Amino acid sequence: MTNASRFLLQIARWIAGSQRREWTDAMEAEANQTDASSISWAGGCLSASVRDRLLRERYSMLAVVLLPPIVFALNMVLFVPTVHLVDSLGWPHLTLVGFALLTPVPFAFAMGLFMPLRRALTTGLLCGVANELVNIVFFWIYFGQGPEIWFHKGSTVYMMTPILGWACGISFWIAGAWLGAAARRRKRPITD
């Protein structure tokens, strides 16, 4: 077996995860038996492990694709009424930041109710990153300002420096997913 095929099989093992350890062990043993075609065998194993992992993670992938645009649309629809409510009650405008940061928590919580802890946290992280990317792309298109605007002096995201604002936004997705997964565990113990 060549070094390239060993490398491909290690990637396949990592992607397949511990749930498919026996399968990856068997594929590696099979690759050891082949001579010239070990790279094509390892490539096929990598392809099969990617397809298997995507099939096992389809609900997480669906959440990452659907939830951030839904949260973004909800924020856009509720933004103007929230501004009028905050102004009429005399609350500080920082309340709007809290509203924007808290909007994904119920969605992430519901997502966490249906996933084991590790998967919920990973999906929450990916949803948070996707949500921030949706925001960046929207502002880029709507205001005609490219990504470089986030690095100008005085730029803010959620009234914080951009990096801190993005980290804060992502952390609320992760916190909601963690709370949902913790509530799920309290209902019925699950081993990850």
Q: Where are the alpha helices (DSSP H) in the chain?
A: 3-16, 21-33, 38-56, 58-89, 94-102, 105-113, 117-143, 162-187
User: What CA–CA distance (Å, rounded) separates 192 from 189?
Assistant: 10
Q: Enter the tokens of residue 109.
A: 């919580």
Per-residue pLDDT at 190? 53
Angle at 34 between CA 28 and CA 35, to 5 degrees: 125
Residue 181 CA to chain centroid, in angstroms?
15
Half-sphere exposure of 112 (CA within 13 A, CB side): 29
Q: What is the pLDDT along the chain (192 residues), one digit of tens a residue?
A: 778 888 888 888 888 888 888 888 888 888 777 766 677 888 888 889 888 888 888 888 889 899 999 999 998 898 888 889 988 999 988 888 888 899 999 999 999 999 889 889 999 999 999 999 888 888 888 877 766 766 777 777 788 888 888 999 999 999 999 999 999 888 765 555
This prediction has a pTM of: 0.72
Residue 58: which residues within 8 A CB-CB, separation 6 or more?
none
Q: Per DSSP, what are the bridge partners of residue 160?
A: 157
Domain positions in the chain are 3-56, 58-187
